[in-house]
């Protein structure tokens, strides 16, 4: 039995207006996240699947991110199996930060010294 390769995308290829799903834990999210990302921790994906599909709307692509890519890869596999167009963001939020993509922490924009857990 063969498996299809996991859909992945480099941070730089994620569109500025792309739908981003952050599956990190609450403390990681609070430390720094992409401003318009939807936050659903990995352990809550199944229970909150309806929230995700409602926020996604008419079948757009879901860019899934965690800290480095392990958890988001598992969630991406699950979402693809559910029929969604989902891709794992390679390198996660560490790569996002390293690429200079914008971050916020709490309700304010993260300063240059901000970090991602």
Positions marked active-site: 66
CA torsion through residues 106, 22, 35, 47, sign: negative
Q: How far is CA 19 from CA 35, 58, 80, 114, in A?
A: 11, 12, 15, 23
């Amino acid at each position: 039995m063969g498996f299809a390769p996991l859909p992945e995308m480099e941070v730089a290829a994620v569109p500025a207006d792309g739908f981003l799903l952050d599956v990190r834990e609450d403390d990681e999210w609070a430390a720094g996240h992409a401003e318009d990302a939807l936050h659903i921790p990995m352990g809550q994906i199944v229970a909150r699947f309806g929230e995700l599909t409602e926020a996604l709307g008419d079948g757009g692509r879901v860019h899934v991110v965690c800290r480095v890519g392990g958890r988001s890869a598992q969630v991406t596999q699950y979402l693809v199996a559910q029929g969604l167009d989902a891709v794992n963001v390679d390198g996660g939020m560490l790569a996002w930060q390293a690429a200079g993509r914008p971050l916020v922490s709490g309700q304010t924009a993260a300063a240059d010294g901000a970090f991602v857990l």
